[in-house]
Amino acid sequence: MTQDNVMPGRVHKAPENFLDPQGIRTVLAQAREGRRSFIRQAFAAAAAGIAAPVALAEGNPIPSEGGDPNILKLPEHSTGLGQGVATDGYGKPSKYESNIQRRQSPGLTQTTQASVSFAPLQSLFGIVTPSGLHFERHHQGWWDVDPSKHRLMINGMVKAAKVFTLDEIMRLPSVSRFHFIECGANTAVEWGNVAVPTVQYTHGMISCSEFTGVPLITLLELAGADLKKGKFVLAEGADGSSMTRTIPMSQITSGEVIVAFGQNGEMLRPENGYPLRLVVPGIQGVSWVKYLRRIEVGDMPWAAKDEAVHYIDLMPDGSHRQYTNIQEIKSVVTTPSGGQVLLDKGFYNISGLAWSGRGKVKQVDVSVDGGRNWRPARLETPVLSKALTRFNIDWVWDGKPAIVQSRAVDETGHVQPTYRQLRGLRGTRSIYHNNAIQSWLVSESGEVKNVQLS
């Protein structure tokens, strides 16, 4: 890798594999020299000092003419005739919302077909990701597949191999459930050091939707699958990569694995696997095979490419953890978050998302002093198993530096780890399954920065 095309501070050419060592060294050196001690001092001073009285809001002053022209002078939309119904047969967001887009992280991959786009978590409310903003991960490009020609085959350790059309699958009893899908490589670029500026790029490979479909167990029973000896199932996609992943039968017999065609009240979007994808709650996104064409029942795992070369977690002793499927307890504050600027001192609603692949989120705590003291946040309803959970907490910003963090606990009692704990066990080169507590530094200017603490 040549040095002249390296842009430190972001990841270069890293198809889930390489953090550029030169870039990391530069970032670390920068962080050590000067800036680190400056912020340490600024923060120590803020922690020791007495909170200054909060200034009144200045963002909405009374103009000299004695009133806001937006009130005094009636706008066109109050004095004219608006547009008619069905001007647009499929409505779109306001033109003022055009900044809210899923985006690629520059330099992360060299192609767009084997790549990732990140959901704009900093701009989303509640727990549902709008389908058009759902993160994307394609291994060999996406397709808009003709649903009348799509087939699902079930074979292997079954009484009779079966073929289903979409018409037939959609005639079966269906369920609708909210679940998060998170890429196993979400937050991967941050394992070693801060690499990207905003929550979109640190945590944006997660989305949450209401999925509608048929429990896979229904289809397996229709084929007469051997549920005892057939301990494993292979799911295979119909796209170029024909993505394959091994799923344990025990999870399928629980009824939670769904062959889904619906997403947020409409059909799946093409980028998310139209017309059929697997929904494997709590498990990393790569198992949610898109354009699902085949299910095979077998008695051993398949060691497919994406469970033998990628999506394996490197440990400090040089071994790899294989078949690491569960997305463990994790949370992140989305507002305020990196790359934003607070308007002024005063009241803010700190808001964020928490999730666990092992069930419901039980508790989220928030710290504004870098983890020294914590307050329990409000969990907003609904709190659903293996779905995103929205949390909120009141905060009055005094204009001094603050480090905002969230820490989630799931119903099994598993507490989200710190970076120090995670690196102590798994090192810094594990790539996948980084669920460490995220820190956002609110500086005196109001600008929020992605930081990692010692």
Partner 1 sequence: MSSFPKALIAIALAALAGSVLAQDKYPGIGRDATAREVAAWDIDVRPDFKGLPAGSGSATKGQDVWEAKCAHCHGVFGESNEVFAPLIGGTTAKDIETGRVANLSRTDYPGRTTIMKVATVSTLWDYINRAMPWNNPKTLTTEEVYAVTAYLLSLANVVPDNFVLSDKNIADVQKRMPNRNGMTARHAMWPGNELGGVAKPDTANVRCMKDCATEPKVASLLPDFARNAHGNLADQNRLIGPQRGADTTRPERKAGTVIAQAPVEAPKPAPDGAKAAQALLAKHACTACHGIDRKIVGPAFTDIAKKHGDKVDYLAGRIKAGSAGVWGPIPMPAQSLPDADARAIAVWIAKGAAK
Residues of span 348-367 touching partner 1 by CB under 8 A: 348-349, 363, 365
**In this chain, which stretch among 7-15, 129-137, 175-183, 264-272 interacts with partner 1, using CB under 8 A?**
7-15
Tokens 């697997």, residue?
278
User: To which H or E segment does residue 331 belong?
Assistant: strand 330-335
CB-nearer residue toward partner 1: 343 or 382: 343
Closer residue to partner 1, CB minimum distance, 208 or 219: 219
Q: Which of 137, 179, 245, 433 forms a contact with partner 1 (CB under 8 A)?
A: 433
Q: Which is nearer to partner 1, 260 or 364 (CB)?
A: 364
Q: Rounded distance, CA 226 to CA 122, Å?
A: 46
Strand partners, 288: none
* Helix (H/G/I), strand (E/B), else coil: 326: strand
**Beta carbon of residue 105, minimum distance to partner 1 (angstroms, whole number):** 7
Binds partner 1 by CB under 8 A, chosen from 45, 52, 74, 343 = 343
Stretch that binds partner 1, among 71-79, 81-89, 266-274, 406-414 (CB under 8 A): 406-414
387 binds partner 1 (CB under 8 A): no
- Binding part of the chain for partner 1, among 72-80, 84-92, 175-183, 325-333 by CB under 8 A, reads 325-333
Number of residues that bind partner 1 (CB under 8 A): 167
Q: What is the β-pairing status of strands 136-138 and 115-117? A: antiparallel
The only residue of 215, 275, 285, 336 in contact with partner 1, by rule CB under 8 A: 336
316/382 with CB nearer partner 1: 316
Q: How many CB atoms neighbour CB 255 within 10 A? A: 12
State which of positions 63-92 bind partner 1 (CB under 8 A). Answer: none
Which has the closest alpha carbon to 334: 188, 448, 192?
Answer: 448
Is residue 40 within the footprint of partner 1 (CB under 8 A)? yes
User: Minimal distance in Å, beta carbon 248 to partner 1?
Assistant: 4
Min dist. Cβ of residue 135 to partner 1 (A): 15
Distance CA 261, CA 275 (A): 6
Closer residue to partner 1, CB minimum distance, 382 or 412: 412
Run of H or E residues at 330: strand 330-335
Instruction: Select from 25, 380, 444 the least CA-distant residue to 193.
Output: 25
Q: Interacting stretch for partner 1, rule CB under 8 A, among 80-88, 260-268, 269-277, 427-435?
A: 427-435
Nearest to 103 by CA among 193, 10, 237, 240: 10
Comparing CB distances to partner 1, the nearer of 364 and 388 is 364
411 counts as binding partner 1 under rule CB under 8 A: no
* Cβ proximity of 120 and 204 under 8 Å: yes
Q: How far apart are CA 296 and CA 233, in angstroms?
A: 6
Each residue 126-165 as x (binds partner 1 by CB under 8 A) or -, in order, gives -------------xxx-----------xxxx--xxxxxx-
Question: Which distant-in-sequence residues (6+ apart) come within 8 Å of 110 by Cβ?
Answer: 13, 15
Beta strand pairing call for 346-355 and 330-335: antiparallel
The CB-of-35 to partner 1 minimum distance in angstroms stands at 7
**Which one among 183, 196, 278, 361 touches partner 1, defined by CB under 8 A?**
196
Who contacts 48 (Cβ-Cβ below 8 Å, separation ≥6)? Answer: none
- Could you write out the DSSP letters of every residue in 77-117? HHHS--PPTTSSSS----GGGTT---BPPTTS-S-SSSEEE
The reply to whether 409 sits near partner 1 by the rule CB under 8 A is yes
The interface with partner 1 within residues 219-278 (CB under 8 A) comprises 219, 221-225, 227-228, 231-232, 234, 236, 240-242, 244, 248-251
The one among 328, 360, 390, 393 contacting partner 1 by CB under 8 A: 328
Out of 45, 51, 255, 373, point to the residue binding partner 1 (CB under 8 A): 373
Token representation of residue 162: 């079966």
Measured from the CB atom, the residue of 217 and 388 that comes closer to partner 1 is: 217
Within 183-291, strands assigned E span 206-215, 232-237, 244-248, 258-263, 266-267, 277-279
Q: Which of residues 96-125 bind partner 1 (CB under 8 A)?
A: 96-101, 103, 105-106, 110-114, 120, 122-123
Cβ proximity to partner 1: between 147 and 301 the closer is: 301
CB-CB contact of 10 with 195 (8 Å): yes
